[in-house]
Structure formats: structure tokens, C-alpha cells
Amino acid sequence: MFFIDAELIRLLAFVLGVIGFVALNAAYLVWLERKEAGHIQRRIGPKEVGPFGLLQPLADALKLMTKNLITPDGVDPILFKIAPILVMVPAIMSFVTLPFSDTLVARNLDVGLLAVFAFASINVLGLLLGAWGSRNKYAVISAARVVSQNVAYEIPMLVIIVTLVMITGTLNLHEIVTLQTGGFWHWNVLKFSASPLMPVAFIIFFICMLAETNRAPFDMAEAESELVAGAFTEYPGMGFGVFFMGEYANIVVGTSLATILFLGGWDCPLGLFPGVHWFLIKMYALIFVVIWIRWTYPRTTFYGLLNLSWKILIPVAFFNLILTSAMLKVF
Amino acid sequence: METQELQPPIVQFSQLSKLLDLCRANSLWPMTFGLACCAIEMMATGASRFDLARFGAEVFRPSPRQSDVMIVTGTINKKMAPAVQTLYDQMPDPKWVIAMGNCAISGGPFVFEGQYNVVEGASKLFHVDVVIPGCPPRPEALIEGILKLEEKLTGTRRWPRVEAV
């Protein structure tokens, strides 16, 4: 007789649920992006393929899957094929510890925050390996940019995280949200008792999240005016498709993290009916802002990007760290 | 460099290939690539008044590896021809070519006695699926050309044809 553990069933359900959630989001965020881009530019966006263009991601996915998978001459065959997976998988892994609601969390790790950042840093490695493996000068230049950009923006992001951990005293994401429940005045973004600069900290975190996921105005990875298609230049068909889905999955991870750390996760702003729907509302609102920023601002120069990080974000983040520690000590 | 030709599959499923053709017709990603003044009209087609995005064809991919349709917009010089040929070869199958404007169809106004530097039509280089006459064609004509390519793929036309009055 089979003995099926309840824990095993729960685990399987969560694996399927997380993969389904990420895949569905990756597909339909592309639709949202194209639709939103259209409306921002006074166009309509996809509308002919299905009602409101809703079948567009399906058509794109089937088309990409059936394209001829070229492996160009001179590429490193292993790195070339493994790189898209290295971008996609860590994003899915991060969802293991992200709490969607009070009860809806796959694994409530005590070092959840650390785990998410550990997985998030693999994303850059995937891009670098893909660009290096595809033996294309544009891809390698793009990868060098992405790595330096990510190193530059990891620092202010982690300084903000250190500040938050000092305030909450825990790395457990579930506990971080629990500490913020009870209305929007308890959320970390408005926790003025810890530091008057908390809204600034949230904005720095958000900017760093944009830069880490290579979104405009920091999309140096795919600067098509200079670098053909950046790190994905040599990827045909679904190789490119997986990279693209990985980018959207990383946006979902980043906005979920911003929601959990600063906006109170599943907590209702007025303290009524907390639940997973509030988490999703906040997350999708942030995703909407991410896309809005992309289609509003032009791409910065590379020097502008690094100057923003090293001359503005890092000093402000460190000042916030010192101020928070002083206020925690005094009050 | 070895060419990787797309072989026809040994087993064919009619309904599946119909579905795939429908998907391909509805997500024709053009290459970001322009040669002359017709490219300006192509840009206008992507912009807000004509909005190529309605058909899911606004994703201008900068890399030939990710694009499905090459819109040859403008005069192909003898000097430019190897580059155009390379771009075509770098696109993965299945791929299509739209020749936009008289220069890309036949050389247009550049065909005369003693002409030495213009390739007389994109079809001298590779197979062309749809031609769009005009000098340059208006954005509506490019949209009509893309609809024609969709019709070639699926066998049905998206909208009823409008008869000329």
C-alpha cells in the first residue's frame, strides 16, 4: 500500500501552484505591457487576436516554441542552452518562501529574506553565461554592463534591507508581514517611529528593483540602439522566450518583495478583510507602475545609471541606516 | 558557415499545423531594419495613428534571430546586398519577406541603362512572399501587406475585402 504523506501532497500542490502562477503571470504580463504601452502612446495595442487581444500571449508562445532552434557556429553548446533556464528557475525558487497570505506559504523559512536574495543573484549569472556562451561581441558588452549595473544596485538595496531587518528584528518574511498588520499606518513604508526616511527607503528599494530586473529606464541589457538585442542577441525562438519570461518572473518576485517588506503584504489598508486578494492588488499595482515607468522614461546613459547609484542612492541609503540605528537606540 | 535548413516533418497533423499557422499569422514579429524612405512609412505604421500592434505585429525585434518577417524597406545597393542577405540567412525558419516599395520590388526608378549599383529587386537575393507597390507605399498599404501575408499563411482573410469605388 502507498502511504501518501499529507505534507507531500501539500508540497506538490504548492510546486504546481507556484509554477502555474509564475508562468501565467509571465505570459499575461507581456499582454499587459503591450496593452499599456499602446494606451500610453495613444494607440490601442493588441485587439484583433481574441477578445481584447487576450489570445496574443498564446499565439506568441506557440509561435516561439515552433521556431527553428538554431545553435549558431562557435557557441558553447552547454552554456548556451542552460542560460535561459538559469534565469527562469531562480525566480520560481524565490516563490517558495514568499507568503501570499497568512496561511498560503510553501515553506516558511526563518531566513526567507536571505534565501530570496540568494536566488535573485543567480539571475545575473544566467544572463552573463548566456551572453558569454553565445560568442557575440554585443552580447558580451551587454553582459558586462548588466553585471556592473547589478553590483552597483545590489549595495543600496541590501543597505535598505539591513535597515529593515534592524527595525523588524527578523529575516522571516511571514513574521515581517505579521509585524505590519492592522492598517496602513503600521506598514513599514510609513513607520516614522523607526526612521523619518522610510518612504525614501521604499523609493530607493523600488528603483534598485527596477535596475536589478533590467527594466527601463535602466534596461542596459537590451539597449537595441547600441547593442543589437543585448545579451539575447543570438537566442532564437523559445530560448529568447524563456529569457523574456524570466524577466517578467523576476519583476513579479521584486514587486512581491516590495509588497511584503514595505506595503504590509496581505494586510488591508484599513484593517478589514485581510487576505491574498490584498497581496495581489498591491503587487499588480506595483507592476502597473513598473510598466508605466518603462513607457514614460527614455533609457539613461550608462554613466548616468552608475552615478545615480554611487552618488545618490548609496549615500542616502547609508544615511538612512545610521539614522535608523540612532533612532532605535534612542527611542 | 553551415546552413541549418528546416526539413518538413515526417508525420504531419493537419489540425495542429492549421493551429500553428494561425498562431504564426497572429504574431508576425518584424525585424527592426530599414534601408530608405519606405522605412519612415514603416515607422509611421507602428505609431499611434495606424497602430500595427492591433495584429500583434508591433514587436520589432532588433535581432534577426528572433524575428519572423523581414520587411525590405527601400533600395538595396550592391554594397548593402551582402548585409541584407546575411540578415535573411540569420533568421530562423519559418521566415517570410515583404518587399515594400518599388525599389525593393524591382529597383524602381533606379532601373536605367548603365545603372551599376542597385540590386533590381529583393527577389534577386531571396524568396519574396508579399510585394507592396508604391513610392513609398502608405502605412495602410503596409498593413494590407501584412494582412496579405496572414492570408497566405492561414488561407482566410481577416476582414472582408473593401471594393474600390
- Which of B100, B149, B107 shows the shortest CA–CA distance to B124? B107
Chain B residue closest in CA terms to A35: B53
Contact B65 A236 (CB under 8 A): yes
DSSP A260-274: HHHS-TT--TTSSS-
Q: What is the pLDDT of residue B131?
A: 92
Tell me if chain A has a CB within 8 Å of the CB of B86.
no
**Which H helix or E strand runs over B72?**
strand B69-73
Q: Say if the ipTM goes beyond 0.85.
A: no
Q: What is the pLDDT of residue A2?
A: 61
Phi, then psi, of B104 in degrees rounded to 5: -75, -25
Domain extents in chain B: 27-154
Nearest-CB residue to A41 (from B24, B48, B54): B48
Per-residue burial over B98-111, b if 16 or more Cβ lie within 10 Å, else e, is: bbbbbbbbbbbebe
Q: How confident is the model at residue B6 (pLDDT cuts 50, 70, 90)?
A: low
Q: Retrieve residue B94's grid coordinates.
A: 519559418
For residue B1, is pLDDT > 50?
Answer: no
Contact B53 A38 (CB under 8 A): yes
Tell me if chain B has a CB within 8 Å of the CB of A67.
yes
Q: Give pLDDT tens digits along chain A (331 positions).
A: 566 777 788 888 888 888 888 888 888 998 999 888 889 988 888 888 878 888 888 888 888 888 888 888 888 888 888 888 888 888 888 888 888 888 788 788 888 888 888 888 888 888 888 888 888 888 888 888 888 888 888 899 999 999 989 888 888 888 888 888 877 888 888 877 778 888 899 999 999 998 888 887 888 777 777 788 778 888 888 888 888 888 899 899 999 999 988 888 888 888 777 788 888 889 999 999 999 998 898 888 888 888 988 899 999 999 999 998 888 888 7
Q: 3-state secondary structure string, A168-204?
A: HCCCCHHHHHHCCCCCHHHCHHHCCCCCCCHHHHHHH
Peptide bond into A72 cis (omega under 30): no
Q: What is the pLDDT of residue B4?
A: 52
Mean pLDDT of B136-142: 90
Domain extents in chain A: 6-330
- How many Cβ atoms are within 10 Å of A82's Cβ, its own excluded? 14
Tell me the residue length of chain A: 331
Q: How confident is the model at residue B2 (pLDDT cuts 50, 70, 90)?
A: very low
**Does domain B27-154 correspond to CATH entry 3.40.50.12280?**
yes
For residue B120, is pLDDT > 80?
Answer: yes
Cα(A173)–Cα(A261) distance, integer angstroms? 8
Cross-sheet strand order for the sheet of B96-100: B69-73, B96-100, B130-132
Contact A237 B61 (CB under 8 A): no
Contact A229 B4 (CB under 8 A): no
Q: What is the pTM of this model?
A: 0.86
Q: Which of B66, B96, B143 to mutate to test the interface with A (most CBs of A within 10 A)?
A: B66
Phi-psi region of A191 (alpha: psi -120 to 50; beta: other; left: phi over 0): beta
Tell me if chain A has a CB within 8 Å of the CB of B155.
no
Q: Retrieve residue A242's grid coordinates.
A: 524563456
Give all strands (DSSP E) within chain A, no chain letters. Answer: none
